[in-house]
Amino acid sequence: MLLIENIKLALFAIRANKMRSFLTMLGIIIGISSVISITSIGASAKAVISKEFENYGAAYMFIMMDWRNVEYIESSDLFSYEDVEALKNRFPEDLKYAALYASTSADTKVGRNEGKLNLMGVEANYNQFNKGIEIKYGRMINKSDVEGVRENIVVDIKAARFLFNKENVVGNVIPANVYGNDRDLTIVGVYDVPPSIFAGLDMSSSYTCYAPISLLVNKDGTSSFIEIYGNDKKNVTDQANAYVNYITKIKGKEPGFYRSESAESQMSMINTVLGTLSVALGAIAAISLLVGGIGIINIMLVSVTERTREIGVRKSLGARTRDILTQFLIEAMILSCIGGIIGTISGTALAGLGMSLFGIQVVIQPLVILGTVIFSAGVGVFFGIFPARKAARLDPIEALRYE
C-alpha cells in the first residue's frame, strides 16, 4: 500500500508542475528517441542489405589472383575453360554454377538514341542462379548461344525503353563496338530487376546486359576471374577455401597465389561496419541521457526545497527515513520512465518516417526498446539518489520551521 501511495504522490507532484516536469524529461526523451531511431535505422539497413545479397545468394563468390602476393603473372596463371571444368568435376555436388568471368563496356546508337552498354559474359541459364534477374520477354542466354559464340544479348528493360521506346524488343538488333569491333547484337531477351534501395544510388549511365561468355572472354579463352555459385546449404567459407586450394594445386602455384571473395564475406563486413556505426552513434546520442539525468537532479533538489515543510510533517507523523527516500526515488524513476516511454514512441515514429522516405520497412528491436526503458528508469534511480537522500536526512524540527 505504501508503494502505491508513493506512486500517487509522485504522479500528483508531476501533474502539479507539468511544464517543469516536461522540461526535466526532455533530456531523457531526446536521448531515448535518438538511441531508438539510430538502432532501428541501423537494423533496417542491415535487413535491406541482407535482402539485396539474397538475390546473389550467400554462396556467390569469385576466385581470383591475390595481387598482394603476386609479383608477376604468366598466361598460364590465368583461368581457362579447362580449369572451370576441373572444378566442376572435383565438386559436382557443391558447384551449382562455375564460369569464366568477363565484362566490357560498349557504345551503342539506335536511331538518335546513344547509350553505353555494360556487357557481362555468362554461361547458360544464368538467371536460375542470380535471383536479381527477372526475364520479362524472350529468354536468357542458353547453351547453344555459348557453344556457338552467337552475337546474342539480353538487355535491361530500361535500356529497351531508352533505345527503342518500348519494352518488348526481342528480335531487334543493337549495333555495338565490342573490343574495337563493330557487332550487331541480336536481342533474345529483356530482363528487369526487383525494386532495390540501391537503384536510386546508381549514378551510372550504362545499362547492364548479358552476352555469351564465349563472346567476351579473351581470344585465348582465359580470364582473371572465375564466377561461382556454390552450395548455400553448406559453409560458404569452407567451400571457398576448398575451391581455392584445389585451383592452386592444379595450377601448380604456392598457397596464397589465389584467393576468394564471397557475397557472404562482403555482407558480413558491411553489417560489421553498420553495427559499429550504429553503436557509436547510439553512444553519442546517449550522452543526452546524462544531460537528462542532471536535469533530474536539479529538479528533484528544487522539489525537495519546495517540499521541506511537507517532509517535516510526514516525519513528525512517523514516516521513516527510508519512506521519504523511497518517495523521492519513485518520483525520479517515474519521471525517467515517462520520458523513456515518450522517447521510445517518438524514436520509433522518427525511424519509421525516415525509412518510409526510402521505401524501406522499419525494423523495430523489442529488446532494444525494453532495454532503453529499463535504462531510463535506472537513470532516474541513479540521479535521484542524491536529492532523495537529502530529503530523507532532513531534521523534522528544522523542516517544520522552514517557510
| CA 29 to chain CA centroid, nearest Å | 26
Supply the pLDDT for residue 375.
72
Query: For residue 111, is it left (φ>0), alpha (ψ between -120 and 50) or beta?
Result: left
Q: What is the pLDDT of residue 254?
A: 87
Tell me, rounded to whole angstroms, the distance of Cα 85 from its chain centroid.
36
Q: Please report the pLDDT score of residue 33 as a whole number.
A: 82
Nearest to 113 by CA among 154, 172, 174: 174
pLDDT of residue 166: 92
Reduced to 3 states (helix: H, G, I; strand: E, B; else coil), residue 233 is: coil
> What pLDDT is stored for residue 203 in this prediction?
46
Place of cell 546520442: 285
pLDDT of residue 325: 74
As a whole number of Å, the end-to-end CA separation of the chain is 31
Confidence at residue 298, expressed as pLDDT on a 0 to 100 scale: 73
What does the pLDDT read at residue 1?
45
> Which pLDDT tens digits describe the chain residue by residue (403 residues)?
466 776 777 777 777 777 777 877 777 788 788 777 877 777 777 777 666 666 666 688 899 988 887 777 788 889 999 999 999 999 988 888 999 999 998 889 888 888 899 999 999 989 888 877 889 999 999 999 999 999 999 999 999 999 999 999 999 999 988 888 888 999 999 999 876 555 544 445 688 999 999 998 877 788 999 999 988 888 888 999 999 999 999 998 888 899 988 877 777 776 777 677 767 766 766 676 677 777 777 777 777 766 666 667 766 767 677 777 777 777 778 877 888 888 888 888 888 887 777 667 777 777 777 777 777 777 767 767 766 676 666 666 665 555 5
Longest dimension (CA), the chain: 105
Instruction: Please count the helices (runs of H) and the strands (runs of E) in the chain.
Output: 13, 13
C-alpha cell at 28: 531523457
